[in-house]
Amino acid sequence: MKKFAMIAAALVCMGVSALAQQQRPAAPVFPEYTFTTVKAAPITSIKNQGSSGTCWSFSAISFLESEAIRLCNIKDEAKYPDFSEFFVVGTSYKERADKFVRLDGKLNFSVGSGCGDVISVVKYHGIVPNDCVTGLNYGTPLPAQSELDNILLGYVEAIAKTRKPSIAWKRGFAAVVDEYFGKAPETFVVDGKTYTAESYRDAMKIVADDYIELTSFTHHPFYTWFPLEVADNWRATLSYNVPIDEMMAALDNALENGFTACWGADVSSTGFTRDGLGILVVPQAATTAGSDQQRWVGSDPAAPARPAEIKESVPTQESRQEEFDNKTMTDDHGMHIFGIAKDQNGKKYYMVKNSWGETGRYKGIWYVTEAFMRAQTLDLTIHKDALTPALKKHLGIK
């Protein structure tokens, strides 16, 4: 997810390049917070996407892991599933390559994507455990994907220019992906049972058609479906457009009833910090070189004295639309929302699982205010059963 056409190196979490690199302004100094959990659904362990642009897969797979825990009523943490992010990434890359060539190269081709892509892969190809496809066949302890991304882009660009592509190119492309990520076995064993990717998905009780992607913008009518116009939505996944109050109500309803949500968001604001906070201060889009975390939240600054409180901006439906139209709100990052907390003053926050490892003050968890969530959310994916009664009625869901 994010900002400019691919010109230099892959730069952001969803694999889009920047026209130029600049230092992110120093984040404001926040108060010292103490958070108390109000409601939280089970989540699997914190993962680290490293230097890959795969937050979309990490966030959606984490979401589906929590869904499997809920749907299968798994109580023992030792039995929590660990699904492969890179089975999804590799499958997505293969399908995008086919579409890229069919469209003569007129399609965004990068590692970036969204939750809808993961849901589509799961629907048509299933799920495999992480140890079947680790995505780390190239010699680094954490994902470091720029070499592969550049190879694959060059490959499909060459094929797209070919007047009559050979019958070998898809096999060659798939072989490169499988060599870097690992090739999924046709069958595998989990807890003594043999599965295929499809039968494992079914055993985890995940039904792809049960998931609804919500968004909230005024350039399309409310209560209609449209494909969110961002470059990484290469599948043209449809989102259901609702007023922002209803989208927030759906999120709250989900969390209060034991569901979680996959979150596509803008995190280029200085209010999204390396210490695990998302607070709606004046947004300033910027990027920096280095790891995915450094690109969005900068390096560790010296800490001045902390203020007593931070006053937040007040987002509106109109301000959301203005920022989407002028591209100050763009699709930076995918994360997994799993709970609600309050700070020492009783203010509400959303608990968010990130994919930057056990980093920051809260070991990989971010605490995000309602204002930030309201202003910076591009889309939310939740189970249809988590929708509010009003939205179910609009969608004809009983």
d(CA 313, CA 379): 20
pLDDT at 29: 79
Domains and CATH numbers, the chain: 36-395 (3.90.70.10)
Instruction: Mention every residue, 6+ apart, whose C-beta is less than 8 A from residue 168.
Output: none
pLDDT at 220: 98
pLDDT at 18: 33
Residue 126: both structure tokens together: 């299933």
pLDDT at 5: 35
pTM of the model as a whole: 0.89
Long-range contacts of 346-354, Cβ-Cβ distance < 8 Å, separation of 24 or more: 348/38, 349/35, 350/251, 350/255, 351/37, 351/40, 352/263, 352/278, 353/43, 353/46, 353/59, 353/62, 354/46
d(CA 267, CA 283): 9
- Cα–Cα–Cα angle for 85, 86, 87, nearest 5°? 95
pLDDT at 283: 46
Q: Which residue has the tokens 């809260």?
A: 362
Residue type for 335, please? M
pLDDT at 265: 97
d(CA 221, CA 224): 6
d(CA 93, CA 386): 31
d(CA 142, CA 160): 31
| Chain mean position to CA 183 | 23
pLDDT at 31: 83
Give me the residues of the chain with pLDDT under 50, please.
2-23, 283-289
The length of the chain in residues reads 398
